[in-house]
Amino acid sequence: MESLEEIKARAELAVPGARIEIILNPSPAQQPSLLLDNAHAPAVARFLRDDPALRLDHCSNVTGVDWLERTISKKVKVKTVVEGEEKEIDETQVESFPGYLEAVYHLYSMTLKHGPVIIRLRTADRGDGARLPSLTTIYRSAEFQEREIYDLYGIHFEGHPDLRRILMWDEFTDHPMRKDYREPDDYEYEPTPHDDVLEKAKQHSQPRPSIDGAESITPA
Amino acid sequence: MSEGVDEGLRSELQKQGIWVTSTQELYNWSRRNSIWPLQFGLACCAIEMIATAASKYDLARFGGEVFRPSPRQADLMIVAGTVTKKMAPQIVRLYNQMPDPKYVISMGACAISGGPFKQGYNVLKGVDRFIPVDVYIPGCPPRPEALLHAFMELQRKIDGQKLTGAGKSDHLDASKPSEFPVPAFGAHDLEPPSNPDLFHPPEFQRS
């Protein structure tokens, strides 16, 4: 199979106006992916499916990713003039990235036996702008998985034939796989709480009463 | 054992070929030897339940082989597996549709407490939040022997149930409920999350 750069170049030629970006993956998997712009995503996906050299006719997996709003602070040396002298001063620059949601599609070719080519779609934000074009018309196998993403991440797939919740009940209003989801507070006593459960246990139990001051002694 | 007849006298009479019994004893004996379970499984525990019913472990030895596809014909509900919050109203509805006397075996860690999924947002932390449970079997999943043990425990419980008097069986007591409210699907959780008349969360007392 040709490289991602070649696929990107040919797809941009085939679909005028399409903007494709190669997203590198720094994790041990080292699996780069193609980020498509939402307006041209169906056309690019159709090209990937129908192109005789690619024939990516099988969408094996669709999944969601939640990227919270994040800030990265970097220390940068900045030259400034202090009392007539030029000095290098450390300055922290804070760079903030807005949050968004992603849908990731893993495409394979059954006919040519190659793959995967991974494509990503990004929403504008995590609120009202959490909308993406549906690829169900191109890959029928994406139908239930897009429903699952709608259910658990809250991405609205425009053009999906039957966008309903698939795992949770229809009356449910939350999206449990979002990183800021908080489940209902129904903690019950646990004999050996740990990690997240320990945090819940602390909120629900009274601190140990002070009896003889022994608890204030710190171990050496 | 029948009340009112002396154990020694009963034994003596039996030696002479006279068998003394009581309505209660006869009723419970026949009841406990033909418990018809409701045929449904929720997760991997159901596989063990199926194995229990099949020839190797043979639930038929205890009279429980007639798995019924309708709650109207069932005496026993074996809750075999994880009860998700989406499934819980259906479980309660099936329980309500079963005729009295009815019994529930809570099979495996999930049906008892939610098991490994207890802290999940979508799993009920034990089926006893909505329906009364007679026998709990721990295990993940419990072996068929454990289910047979639970079945025998249930038979022992049925044997001890009284037909009259103050401590009579719940199904003969009109003041005891035989149906329980079906929880509704709420915006964040089931409403109510548990039946307050039935379930009281364990409280931890620090000494």
Contacts of A99 (CB under 8 A, 6+ apart): A66, A67, A68, A69, A70, A125, A126
Q: Which runs of E-coded beta strand occur in chain B?
A: 76-80, 103-107, 135-137, 184-185, 190-191
Q: Is B7 helix (H, G, I), strand (E, B) or coil?
A: helix
**ipTM metric:** 0.78
In B, minimum Cα distance to A171 occurs at B187
Contacts of A192 (CB under 8 A, 6+ apart): none
Across B26-40, b (16+ Cβ under 10 Å) vs e yields: eebeebbeebebbbb
- The residue segments making up the domain with residue A53 are 4-206
Provide the β-strand partners of residue A104: A63, A120
Cβ–Cβ gap B86/A168 under 8 Å:
yes
Pairing of strands A156-158, B76-80: unpaired
pLDDT at B169: 87
Cβ–Cβ gap A188/B125 under 8 Å:
yes
Number of structural domains, chain A? 1
Against a cut of 0.90, is the pTM above it? no
Best to test chain A binding among B82, B84, B87, B122 (most A CBs inside 10 Å): B122
Quick one: which of B125, B67, B120, B128 has its CA closest to B92?
A: B128
CATH of B36-157, one of 3.40.50.300, 3.40.50.450, 3.40.50.12280, 3.40.50.720: 3.40.50.12280
Q: Quickly tell me which residue has 């004893």 as its tokens.
A: B25
Candidate from A169, A197, A208 with C-beta closest to B206:
A208
Candidate from A167, A172, A189 with C-beta closest to B202:
A189
User: Is A130 within the bounds of a domain?
Assistant: yes
Q: Which residues of B touch A170 (CB under 8 A)?
A: 185
* Confidence bin at B172 (pLDDT 50/70/90): confident
Q: Are B117 and B111 in contact (CB under 8 A)?
A: no
pLDDT tens column, A23-67: 998 889 889 999 999 999 999 999 999 999 999 999 999 999 999
User: Per-residue pLDDT for B2 more than 60?
Assistant: no
- Percent of chain A exceeding pLDDT 70 equals 93
pLDDT tens column, A201-218: 888 876 666 666 666 666
The CATH number of whichever domain residue A36 belongs to comes to: 3.30.460.80
Which has more pLDDT, A100 or B4? A100
pLDDT tens column, A165-203: 999 999 999 999 999 998 888 888 888 888 888 888 888
State the amino acid at position B54 in one-letter form. Answer: A
Domain locations in chain B as residue ranges: 36-157
Q: Which runs of E-coded beta strand occur in B9-125?
A: 76-80, 103-107
